[in-house]
Amino acid sequence: MSPTPADKPPGVSRRAMLAGLAAVLTAGCGKLAFMAANVSAAFGAYRRHADIAYGTHPRHRLDVYVPDAAAGATRTAAGESASGGSRPMVVFWHGGRWSFGDKAKYRFVGAALAELGYVAVLPNYRLYPEVRLAGFMEDAAHAGRWAAAHAALYGADADRLYLMGHSAGAHLAALVTLDSRYFAADGGAPPRIAGVIGLSGPYDFLPLKEADVQDMFGPPQNYPQSQPINFVRPDAPPMLLIHGSKDEVVAPKNSINLAASLRALAVPVTLKLYPNLLHADTVAAISLPARGRAPTLADLAAFVRQPRSS
């Protein structure tokens, strides 16, 4: 499939545009905020391969963002060589309460990861009420395995595979990593996951109070199966957990508690609590006009730079 170049609007001052977009982003992460974030992504030096099928369902589609080959002689902000097949690959799942959301709204994430010299994979997945926990996780495992299998095709290293998400997407990334049953059910050996990056994720959120969440994770005897914290194990990969201290959608205790459980088993974990930030701020700060809001991208790059044991 031929890549689609990022179009750049003509006749517009980049500085003026970013200033205006930053003002829109401060209003929140609604439709205008997504538009603002994604307009700025048009400046990225990447190629986007859109709507690649990783399964048979209409939601089994993903976008792959690959840094421009022209950047091959430079070194990226992540400190990685931008040539050859040594690039990290990052799979990012969008949030949306497991019931809404689309990869297209997160083009700014793919562009930012490509800017760091990474190959980014942004999958869609089936949503509630069409499917429930088993369906979400089946899709997460299948997309993660697809990424590992196709890493070399896009110049990435399958042994440098990172799973990442925001909100419900962070839940998918953590649970598919920690609960080995999902990759086992998908068939074959699980991919080697170099690390997990969770933004504002729910990992320890019992009791379930809302009727739709009870339904998607029920019946009640199955509720513990939905909690990533219940599957922490000593051989888990390193994790970076980022949360806003003022998050009223997913309480910061989710990241705090998961970090504590990982540390208790000597699993490397980095916990970043950003003061005064709300639920969407952690991912919004990845976008070019809002990077001054929080160091999400810098912390992510520092995490990926850390040496991993072979």
**Per-residue pLDDT tens for 121-137?**
999 999 999 999 999 99
Cis, bond preceding 207 (omega within 30 deg of 0): yes
| Within a domain: 3 | no
> To the nearest whole percent, how much of the chain has pLDDT over 90?
75
> To the nearest whole percent, how much of the chain has pLDDT over 70?
81
What does the pLDDT read at residue 151? 97
Is the predicted pLDDT of residue 30 greater than 70, yes or no?
A: no
- Its domain, for residue 265, covers 12-305
* Other residues' Cβ atoms within 10 Å of the Cβ of residue 53: 11
| Within a domain: 259 | yes
What does the pLDDT read at residue 188? 79
| Within a domain: 88 | yes
What does the pLDDT read at residue 308? 76
**Per-residue pLDDT tens for 260-302?**
999 999 999 999 999 999 999 999 999 988 999 999 999 999 9
What does the pLDDT read at residue 85? 58
Q: What is the mean pLDDT of residues 11-29?
A: 43
Q: Position of tokens 């919004």?
A: 284
Instruction: Compute CA distances 8 → 14, 51, 68, 296, whole Å.
Output: 10, 21, 15, 25
Q: How far apart are CA 269 and CA 249, in angstroms?
A: 23
pLDDT level of residue 24 (50, 70, 90 thresholds): very low
What does the pLDDT read at residue 265? 98
CATH code, domain with 34: 3.40.50.1820
What does the pLDDT read at residue 29? 42
pLDDT level of residue 44 (50, 70, 90 thresholds): confident
Mean residue pLDDT of the chain comes to: 87
- 86 by Cβ neighbours in 10 Å (0-12 / 13-18 / 19+) ranks as middle
| Within a domain: 133 | yes
Is the predicted pLDDT of residue 103 greater than 70, yes or no?
A: yes
| Within a domain: 2 | no
What does the pLDDT read at residue 33? 63
Strand order in the sheet with 87-93: 4-5, 46-53, 61-67, 119-123, 87-93, 156-166, 193-199, 239-244, 269-274
**Per-residue pLDDT tens for 184-243?**
998 878 999 999 999 999 999 999 999 999 999 999 999 999 999 999 999 999 999 999
| Within a domain: 7 | no
Is the predicted pLDDT of residue 165 greater than 60, yes or no?
A: yes
What does the pLDDT read at residue 82? 41
| Within a domain: 4 | no
Is the predicted pLDDT of residue 67 greater than 70, yes or no?
A: yes
pLDDT level of residue 4 (50, 70, 90 thresholds): very low
Number of domains in the chain: 1
What does the pLDDT read at residue 302? 98
